[in-house]
Structure 1
């Protein structure tokens, strides 16, 4: 299908410009997947992408959390076809409860999109307003600069072309096209913290500070992300220098046991053992902020994610303020064992311990 002819209204041009700039930054047109909820943001993204990006496949993830969700998903797919998508598919998912409904639905949605993308980038309809909300929520959690870097325009395979576009523009674009978007009741439910930030906090900040708050928060996220990229590169250099690659002695740990003990994950021999230890002497000479970032990178390389600032602070104490304290649990492991970071013989090491 050729899609609708887009009018040259202010809103349409703003959304198209966002997509065009994103496509140009990624090297030009090509087939893409667009995650479509049926809301104004994703519908506007679909319409602009058909014109600016190339062959578009719309994927509607039906979370099956609300009565009538199948009908909502089918209608969104129909709208996508009318807008000129080469394909529009509905993917039903089962949402678990781990981490709360919001987090579980997000995990199910991203997994579904990843499963059907077939090597293509996946475009998501996050706007500047979403970015501002994310930065504010990260700031409130107080978990460091990484949490207020917001969302990246490109974090393979996820693309976000509308991070410079206000939500009001996508709503206006749908009106200009004569498209009726779906209004998710969750997006106005004050039981969700993000909704209260959207409906109460950001408007108040705009009023008190005289406008421009969302744009300022977006610029802050961009600047922090650029700074973070430099620090991440320096942290990886520190990890490379600090890895303990000395031969394992009999009295220390068995090289054949793997980095997490005889039954833990990553059981692949001496090379993994060297990856699971890191020199305290090298770490101790680095600035604290870089040291903590290096520890995070080291643990991420070992498959340990979801680290909180409290984890990193406690591990840093093993390096910089050693008082004989015990190991720091970092999550993961098996039902019988937990993973910990411990100080042993001049190194930090990841080990598996029996759960008590």
Structure 2
């Protein structure tokens, strides 16, 4: 008995375990490109009735509505049900790439909630490598260098171990028509230049294997970061136990390794619903522990603030601050070195 072509078999294998592990239905986010079409075909074959599809029309290119309708028709031909076309309005914040991404994910979040489904995304190993390079170049921290996560509800990325060339071959083997987005080759976009210029140059200089190596590095780093996060959660629980005001004791916090201490502080601020905490805010709050010189309140997004008083870090909400005093009356004296 002859099996499916090698590329088709690889796609089906990539989705099989994830389908078995989770009971809820799946919606494939499909742009009409080779990656998401190949994913849709693999899921349609393996799931046998538990998979639907969703395609997003950003309205940014001529003929986008007709193309979205053609993609929806292709998904229905594959046997997916339901199939939904989402028309979105793209704003201007974050540049064209960022704004389109925000609008797309907002629509996909809503679809996941409405249908009680996971959203399957067609990101490949090559996308992962590009994401790692972007994170390195922007210096945006280890989490961005650790790349995309395979399963982070409601999103599921089963193809992170599959090469982009394999998805294209799988589509060709099955006679599936795909759409090549011209924006993917437009050098005006950073990711397009990484794909067309930077990665090929690295492959040439380093003798090949760069994309798998970057993806492998992301996976190892993500394991380390997950372990640190778990340790930080335990430390946070211990430090806040028995603290009715949610304050943090400075002395034991200061004795933690920096990587744990910053994670505890970030978790503390997030637990208090402080929005958009950036590295600059985190380092300023940490300085109240490790670089204490009697400084006043650290200002945070949303109008909140953090002060050091009586050997503890106190979070002041925006309403509590009123006229934005620097600290409560019992602000401790700085240590004299």
TM-score in terms of structure 1 length: 0.83
Task: Measure the CA separation in 1 of the matches of 2:176 and 2:263.
Answer: 46
Aligned residues: 317
Q: 1:9 aligns with which of 5, 27, 40?
A: 5
Q: 2:104 aligns with which of 89, 101, 109?
A: 109
Task: Measure the CA separation in 2 of the matches of 1:305 and 1:102.
Answer: 23
Does the 8 Å contact 2:136/2:145 carry over to 1?
Answer: yes
| Deviation for aligned residue 1:49 | 0.5
Report what 1:262 is aligned to: none
| Deviation for aligned residue 1:156 | 1.1
Aligned pair 1:94/2:89, yes or no? yes
Q: Which has the higher helix share?
A: 2
Deviations 1:175-231 (A, max 9, x none): 222222112222111111111111111111111111111111111111111111111
Task: Measure the CA separation in 1 of the matches of 2:323 and 2:33.
Answer: 45
Q: Which ranges in structure 2 are unaligned for 5 or more consecutive residues?
A: 325-337
C-alpha spacing 1:65/1:329, structure 2 compared with 1 (3 Å): farther
Does the 8 Å contact 2:29/2:120 carry over to 1?
Answer: yes
Q: 1:314 aligns with which of 276, 284, 290?
A: 284
Report what 1:74 is aligned to: 69
Aligned pair 1:182/2:176, yes or no? no
C-alpha spacing 1:284/1:164, structure 2 compared with 1 (3 Å): same
- What secondary structure sits across from 1:186 in the alignment? helix
**Which structure 2 residues correspond to residues 104-253 of structure 1 after superposition, within 5 A?**
104-117=99-112, 118-243=115-240, 245-246=242-243
Report the aligned-residue RMSD: 2.1
Report what 1:22 is aligned to: 18
Task: Measure the CA separation in 2 of the matches of 1:341 and 1:147.
Answer: 27
Aligned pair 1:83/2:53, yes or no? no
Deviations 1:208-258 (A, max 9, x none): 111111111111111111111111111111111222744xxxxxxxxxxxx
Report what 2:306 is aligned to: 341
Report what 2:269 is aligned to: 299
| Deviation for aligned residue 1:302 | 2.1
Task: Measure the CA separation in 2 of the matches of 1:67 and 1:92.
Answer: 14
Task: Measure the CA separation in 1 of the matches of 2:92 and 2:323.
Answer: 23
Task: Measure the CA separation in 2 of the matches of 1:159 and 1:346.
Answer: 44
Does the 8 Å contact 2:25/2:116 carry over to 1?
Answer: no
Does the 8 Å contact 2:203/2:209 carry over to 1?
Answer: yes
C-alpha spacing 1:345/1:192, structure 2 compared with 1 (3 Å): farther
Q: Which consecutive aligned stretches of 4+ in structure 1 deviate over 6 angstroms post-superposition?
A: none
Task: Measure the CA separation in 1 of the matches of 2:152 and 2:128.
Answer: 15
Does the 8 Å contact 1:242/1:280 carry over to 2?
Answer: no
- What secondary structure sits across from 1:349 in the alignment? strand
Report what 2:39 is aligned to: 45
- What secondary structure sits across from 1:60 in the alignment? strand
Report what 2:256 is aligned to: 286
